[in-house]
């Protein structure tokens, strides 16, 4: 695959963002997040999504001048209104505030309503982990998958993040849509034609399929379990933020004004840093040291994206050239 | 199936608990929880588990006189030490305290280490919902399933609960082990010989199987996703409680001294009760009103257990007589 040096990608995104009307500060922040997502192996919410983000800003679907603001301070939790501003900037502000609350109360929560797409969910988990916090966050989405037993889409795939800091910065990072495959990964498989390693959903005949192009209805992880989990994540984010549920988002006809929850736990208030790091290391080392399925390799969540991050620093960020050329032309 | 009136089951459990050495108050609390679990359709952690619990108390594995106590007050979060007391009493105390913290700070957290099996995870979610709170909690366990790509068991199945209150008491309740099937349900299928509706794990030849008896390695929900989720739930509970991870629990050779996290969010501090109830109702009604897979019925998490609860109040609690007779003989 072709590669572009990370800094060149940041600079190019920055150029486009300035031309679109962002301030210098916001342009650097956004450019770093989009380039970082590609660098970490999540191009579906990095380079590949960048042109669509610019389009959303130009069309006014994402309001360039709007920013999330605190509406209600409720102790260790706050409610914020995202005002349909850029989801990445809103997300960073809200996890940033959750971290501050955690520094004061050990646990801190910000519930955000009325925001736009936050791109890669893991961004905000890494933000918390970089600050020495456990970060947990999730978003709802519009209707993307049926409930267990249902035929039509009624649930969001509601990506969920859990991040646990490690001293070397290679944080444990779970970042998962509640569908077996995210929209981004489904798109990658559609373009490449490569089969999913396990069934990702149902085809038009209601059969489970590993063919992304034939998949009409994504499968929730664990069947009824993911179906229930997606529903609960949706309700919790919407109720705590006084925002829209998936049902209400979908009624608008386009995905806008979603609800999110950001939780941080400040580990420096909880225990000794060396003991915590040793406990994490002990478990990760144990996890990857067992007997493997032939041809498989056990890894901990975040391990592969940390490896990709290092490889990209050395070799450049892998890109699908069609997307890079789109950005150059913006 | 045979049935026993709910109150008769409570009284019988109470008799045995008093004879085992519990105080009258604790015996009523425990009897209500065990009988309630069977009443709600979770006999694996109700009647069927009761004789084993008594055995654990008599053997001293569960310390009858030990109770969880607060070790560190850290703002909106507290660390508690369960002292290997009865997991149900410890769990009720810790979710109770998380609810109090949520009444003060909107979000409240109690991280509990060194506790024994809490039986049905959903118990503590319902406790929070009965208090008008969103309840989220989870526990780690000993090693029960391999990580994705691995052959030997390295992960707990770490049951996770999310509960959202409804005014009529039929709360939304997700209560799920991170394996596709819990140990309790696997046991039920082993005894009945009934096939799982979807593959539950791998047989000795490494093939996915729906035969509970042939299953050697349980499958995490969503393959790599549940594998990562189980790891993160484990680390978060252990780090926040300064307790043992699954790796550390398993080194002891038996499951004792597990780590748990209890989170409560007080909805009365967050928004108007009628609006909240209407939002939940709107989403649940939408969920169950779609087109169904022929022969299937969409339900929201907790709906079936609420129906079983009402049926049991009318018709008695369904029991497998072998377990009821074991209790009568205690």
- Compute mean pLDDT per 10 residues along chain B, 330 residues long, and list them: 96 98 97 98 94 96 96 97 97 98 98 97 98 98 96 96 97 97 88 92 91 94 97 98 97 87 98 97 96 92 96 96 96
Q: Please give the torsion angle defined by the CA atoms of residues A120, A126, A127 and A133, in that order, rounded to the nearest 10 degrees.
A: 140
Q: Where are the domains of chain B?
A: 1-59+303-330, 70-179+220-269
Give B-chain residues touching A240 at CB under 8 angstroms: 134, 265, 270
For chain A, the C-alpha Rg in angstroms (whole number) is 20
- Separation CA B148–CA B140 (nearest Å): 18
Distances (CA, A) of B243 to A254, B5, B139, B229: 45, 40, 11, 19
Give A-chain residues touching B104 at CB under 8 angstroms: 75
Q: Which CATH architecture has domain A68-179+220-270?
A: 2-Layer Sandwich (3.30)
Query: What's residue B289's pLDDT?
Result: 94
Closest residue in A to B301 (Cα–Cα): A228
What ipTM was predicted for this assembly? 0.97
User: Nearest CA to B63 among B27, B33, B21?
Assistant: B21
Question: Does the pLDDT value for residue A255 go beyond 80?
Answer: no
First to last CA, chain A: 22
Query: What's residue A35's pLDDT?
Result: 98
Put simply, whether B210 touches A (Cβ < 8 Å) is no
Query: What's residue A254's pLDDT?
Result: 72
Closest residue in B to A240 (Cα–Cα): B270
Backbone angles phi, psi at B289, to 5 degrees: -100, 0
Minimal C-alpha gap between A43 and chain B (Å):
19
Mean confidence (pLDDT) of chain A: 96
Looking at 3.10.620.30, 3.40.50.11810, 1.10.1530.10, 3.30.70.20, the CATH number of the domain A1-59+317-330 comes to 1.10.1530.10
- Name the residue among A152, A245, A298 with its Cβ closest to that of B283: A245
Structure-token pair, residue B244: 């043992």
Q: Which residues in chain B (58-117) have CB-CB distances under 8 A to chain A?
A: 74-77, 79, 104-109, 111
B151–A245: do the CB atoms touch at under 8 Å? Answer: no
Judge contact between B322 and B191, C-beta under 8 A: no
Give A-chain residues touching B106 at CB under 8 angstroms: 74-77, 109
A165 three-state secondary structure: coil
Judge contact between A135 and A162, C-beta under 8 A: yes
Query: What's residue B184's pLDDT?
Result: 83
- Name the residue among B74, B106, B296 with its Cβ closest to that of A75: B106
Closest residue in A to B269 (Cα–Cα): A74
- Name the residue among A108, A149, A232 with its Cβ closest to that of B296: A149
Please provide the size of chain A in residues.
330
pLDDT in tens, A275-311: 999 999 999 999 999 899 988 999 999 999 999 999 9
Query: What's residue B187's pLDDT?
Result: 87
Chosen for mutation from A236, A283, A284, A288 (greatest number of chain B CBs closer than 10 Å) is A283
pLDDT in tens, A263-285: 999 999 999 999 999 999 999 99
Give B-chain residues touching A265 at CB under 8 angstroms: 77, 109, 236, 240
Give A-chain residues touching B111 at CB under 8 angstroms: 270
B296–A176: do the CB atoms touch at under 8 Å? Answer: no
Query: What's residue B269's pLDDT?
Result: 97
Query: What's residue B49's pLDDT?
Result: 95
Question: Could you tell me which CATH number the domain at B70-179+220-269 has?
Answer: 3.30.1370.60
Residues 6+ apart with CB under 8 A from A59: none
Token look-up 């009988």 returns B35
Query: What's residue A278's pLDDT?
Result: 98
B164–A235: do the CB atoms touch at under 8 Å? Answer: yes
- Which residue out of B14, B45, B117, B189 is catalytically annotated? B45
pLDDT in tens, A189-222: 998 999 999 999 999 988 899 999 999 999 999 9
A114 φ/ψ sector (left φ>0, alpha ψ -120 to 50, else beta):
left
Scanning chain B, the segments in alpha helix (DSSP H) are 6-20, 24-39, 50-59, 87-105, 122-130, 183-192, 224-241, 246-251, 273-288, 303-315, 321-328
- Separation CA A116–CA A259 (nearest Å): 9
Count Cα neighbours of A10 within 13 Å in the Cβ-side half-sphere.
Answer: 14
Can you give the pTM of this predicted structure? 0.97
Strand locations in B104-228 (E): 107-115, 133-139, 145-146, 153-155, 160-164, 172-176, 201-202, 208-209, 217-218
A174–B236: do the CB atoms touch at under 8 Å? Answer: no
Residues 6+ apart with CB under 8 A from B55: none
- B45 is an active site residue: yes
Give B-chain residues touching A280 at CB under 8 angstroms: 235, 239
A300–B231: do the CB atoms touch at under 8 Å? Answer: yes
- Give, in words, the CATH class of B1-59+303-330: mainly alpha
């Amino acid at each position: 695959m072709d590669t572009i040096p990370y800094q060149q990608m940041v600079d190019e995104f920055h150029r486009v963002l300035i031309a679109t009307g962002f301030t210098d500060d916001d342009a650097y922040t956004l450019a770093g997040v989009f380039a970082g997502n590609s660098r970490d192996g999540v191009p579906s919410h990095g380079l590949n999504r960048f042109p669509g983000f610019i389009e959303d800003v130009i069309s006014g679907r994402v309001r360039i001048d709007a920013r999330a603001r605190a509406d209600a301070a409720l102790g260790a939790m706050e409610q914020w209104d995202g005002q349909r501003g850029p989801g990445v900037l809103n997300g960073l502000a809200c996890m940033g505030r959750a971290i501050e609350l955690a520094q004061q109360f050990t646990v801190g929560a910000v519930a955000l309503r009325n925001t736009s797409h936050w791109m890669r969910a893991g961004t905000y988990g890494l933000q918390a982990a970089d600050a020495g916090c456990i970060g947990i966050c999730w978003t709802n989405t519009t209707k993307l998958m049926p409930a267990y037993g249902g035929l039509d889409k009624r649930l969001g795939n509601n990506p969920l993040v859990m991040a646990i800091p490690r001293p070397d910065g290679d944080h444990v990072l779970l970042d998962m849509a509640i569908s077996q495959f995210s929209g981004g990964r489904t798109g990658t498989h559609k373009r490449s034609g490569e089969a999913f390693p396990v069934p990702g959903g149902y085809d038009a005949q209601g059969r489970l399929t590993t063919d992304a192009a034939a998949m009409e209805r994504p499968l929730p992880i664990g069947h009824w379990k993911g179906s229930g989990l997606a529903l609960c994540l949706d309700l919790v984010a919407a109720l705590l933020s006084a925002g829209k549920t998936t049902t209400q988002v979908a009624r608008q006809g386009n995905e806008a004004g979603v609800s999110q929850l950001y939780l941080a736990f400040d580990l420096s208030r909880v225990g000794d840093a060396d003991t915590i790091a040793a406990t994490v290391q002990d478990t990760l080392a144990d996890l990857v040291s067992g007997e493997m399925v032939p041809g498989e390799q056990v890894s901990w969540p975040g391990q592969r994206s940390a490896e990709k991050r290092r490889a990209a620093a050395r070799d450049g960020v892998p890109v699908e050239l069609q997307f890079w050329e789109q950005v150059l032309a913006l």
